[in-house]
Amino acid sequence: MTVYNWLTLLLGSGILTGIWRYLICRIKENDQRTKSVQLGLQALLRNQMIHEYNKYLDQGYAPIYAKENFENMWVQYHNLGYNGVMDEIHEKFKELPTERKEN
What average pLDDT does the structure give for the chain?
89
Q: How far apart are alpha carbons 33 and 29 in whole angstroms?
A: 6
Q: How far apart are alpha carbons 1 and 8 in whole angstroms?
A: 11
Q: Per the confidence metrics, is the pTM higher than 0.85? A: no
Q: What is the pLDDT of residue 15?
A: 72
56-75 confidence digits (pLDDT tens):
999 999 999 999 999 999 99
- Rounded to 5°, the CA angle 100-75-88 comes to 60
Residue 63 burial (10 A CB sphere; 0-12, 13-18, 19+)? middle
* Domain residue spans of the chain: 3-95
Which DSSP helix (H) or strand (E) runs through 97? none
